[in-house]
Structure formats: structure tokens, C-alpha cells
């Protein structure tokens, strides 16, 4: 049975008023959570700067080409994108264009301009943090020719570099090759002939594509894998030189050192534990058949 008493005319009005007051308080509370622009803008800039530093440190970085040692693949002033993550997961591969830190034996390929003041030094530090500054004087870029265990030399009858006995047709990327008649004993990287040399494990043999104007592993030695910064994957600037940097197909024909020069010697540890493993497996097999017969 319904309540015969009429509803108070003030009831719904009061409820609507309370509801409106609640919503008004929520809106005001939401508005109070917004920061002033003069606080929010510096915070956004700080977050963006930290993200750029993390990206530059661990993932990707741009790199200015400081010299003509990689012409015409890379020209002076080109800016390339370097994948810094790839060499934390695997070692450099033949044919890749890679950025690395030269050892003490390696000469710089660029001239560092002297400091002109405090603001210049601060600009260089900040630019280096976000990856837009000029490269370090020991940061170099070359093409990986041979890796640990490979035997590399020049030249065959046609004046070509060979890796593990296979001659490389480098006509697609080598520019202004070094002269054949230059003295290889001068050790100044002006000669095309060198080797044969076997690359130690954990080391890499690199050369510039502009062989007539490149100081590389021919005269400055191998590069430790730990010194590699990343693989150059794309030319991002200037606009008329946009291009990727793939591995030339000729490097697919190079056999591994084992298949090129016979099987590797057996691992002494594996030889020592082989009888133990065989005895364990035979014992497990006899136990299985004995249990099954019961």
C-alpha cells in the first residue's frame, strides 16, 4: 500500500542542489590538480631531455661523418643513424658499417676545435648527452671486413681482398682503391697489399670504403669487439642522400673459418667428460630395462 502522504516539494530540489554542489566540488578539485604553466613546462622539458639521454645511451644515436675515409658510401657531413642496441645482443658481422672507439694505436680522423668559452663547453656537453654533438675524436666509422678466426689478405691475381680464401668483388662500394705498386712494408695504409693476417678471437678487421684515403686495420691493427658502439643503418641527412646501409651480398659467399681451413680441434673439456656421460647414459638405460622387466 502506497504512502498517502504527499511528497515534500522541497525534497527533489534539495537533492538536486546537493548533487550540483558535489559535482562543483569535483570540478574545483580537478582544476586544483593542474600545475601552473611555468611549473609544467620545465617538467615536460626535463622529461623529454631524460628520455633523449636514455635513447641516446642505450638504443640509437646520430653520428656525423668526420672524414672522407668512407666515400662514396658516406660523405663528409653526412649524419647517420646508429643502432646501439644490436651489439649488446650479438657481435659485429662482416660487411656492416660500424661505429667504434679506436684504441690508443688508432689516429683520429677529425680535428677538435678549441674551446671558445664556458657556454661552448656547456653546449658540447648537452649536445653529447642527447646525441647531436660532433663525435669524439676517437669515434670512427668503417666497414667490417673480417671477424675473429678469419684470415684476410690482399691481393689475389686480380688485386682483390680475400677472406678465408674467397675473393671479394667490392666494386659496388670501394672508391679510389689504394695503388697496387705502393710499398706494403711502409705500414702507412697507402698500399693495397697486406697480409695474410689471422684475426684473433674477440677482434675485428675493418677498412674504409675509400681505400686510398683511409687509415684502418691495414696499418693500425684490429679493433676489440668491446670497443664497438653500434651499427650504422641509415643516412638521415642531408635529404638528397637518404639511403639505407645494408650488408653487400658479396659477404654472403664467405665461408666460416672452420669450413675454409678444416675442422676445428676437439674441445679438451668435452673429450674429458665424454666417457662419464656415456657411462651415465648406459647406466640409466640398464636401469630402465630392468624396471620394465619386473
DSSP 63-124: EE--SSTTTTTS-TT-EEEEESSGGGTS---TT-EEEEE--TTSPPSS-PPPP--HHHHHHH
Distance CA 160, CA 22 (A): 83
> From the centroid of its chain, how far is CA 121?
27
Tell me if 154 sits within 8 A of 180, measured CB to CB: no
Catalytic sites, residue numbers: 69, 142
Tell me if 220 sits within 8 A of 107, measured CB to CB: yes
Distance CA 198, CA 196 (A): 7
Consecutive H or E run containing 127: helix 118-130
Amino acid at each position: 500500500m502506497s504512502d498517502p502522504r504527499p511528497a515534500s516539494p522541497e525534497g527533489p530540489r534539495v537533492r538536486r542542489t546537493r548533487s550540483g554542489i558535489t559535482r562543483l566540488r569535483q570540478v574545483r578539485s580537478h582544476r586544483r590538480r593542474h600545475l601552473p604553466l611555468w611549473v609544467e613546462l620545465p617538467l615536460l622539458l626535463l622529461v623529454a631531455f631524460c628520455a633523449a639521454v636514455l635513447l641516446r645511451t642505450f638504443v640509437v644515436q646520430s653520428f656525423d661523418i668526420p672524414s672522407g675515409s668512407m666515400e662514396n658510401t658516406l660523405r663528409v657531413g653526412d649524419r647517420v643513424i646508429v643502432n646501439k642496441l644490436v651489439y649488446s645482443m650479438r657481435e659485429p658481422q662482416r660487411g656492416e658499417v660500424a661505429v667504434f672507439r679506436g684504441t690508443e694505436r688508432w689516429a683520429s680522423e677529425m680535428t677538435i676545435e678549441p674551446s671558445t668559452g664556458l657556454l661552448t663547453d656547456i653546449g658540447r656537453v648537452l649536445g653529447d648527452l642527447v646525441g647531436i654533438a660532433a663525435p669524439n675524436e676517437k669515434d670512427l666509422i668503417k666497414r667490417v671486413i673480417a671477424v675473429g678466426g678469419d684470415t684476410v689478405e690482399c691481393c689475389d691475381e686480380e688485386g682483390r681482398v680475400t677472406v678465408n680464401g674467397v675473393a671479394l668483388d667490392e666494386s659496388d662500394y670501394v672508391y679510389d682503391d689504394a695503388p697496387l705498386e705502393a710499398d706494403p712494408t711502409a705500414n702507412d695504409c697507402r698500399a693495397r697489399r697486406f697480409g695474410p693476417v689471422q684475426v684473433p678471437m674477440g677482434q675485428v678487421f675493418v677498412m674504409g670504403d675509400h681505400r686510398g684515403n683511409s687509415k684502418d686495420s691495414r696499418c693500425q691493427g684490429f679493433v676489440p669487439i668491446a670497443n664497438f658502439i653500434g651499427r650504422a643503418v641509415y643516412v638521415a641527412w642531408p635529404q638528397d642522400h637518404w639511403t639505407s646501409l645494408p650488408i653487400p651480398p658479396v659477404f654472403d659467399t664467405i665461408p666460416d673459418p672452420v669450413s675454409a681451413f678444416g675442422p676445428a680441434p676437439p674441445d679438451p673439456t668435452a673429450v674429458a667428460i665424454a666417457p662419464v656421460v656415456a657411462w651415465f647414459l648406459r647406466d640409466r638405460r640398464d636401469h630402465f630395462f630392468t624396471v620394465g622387466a619386473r
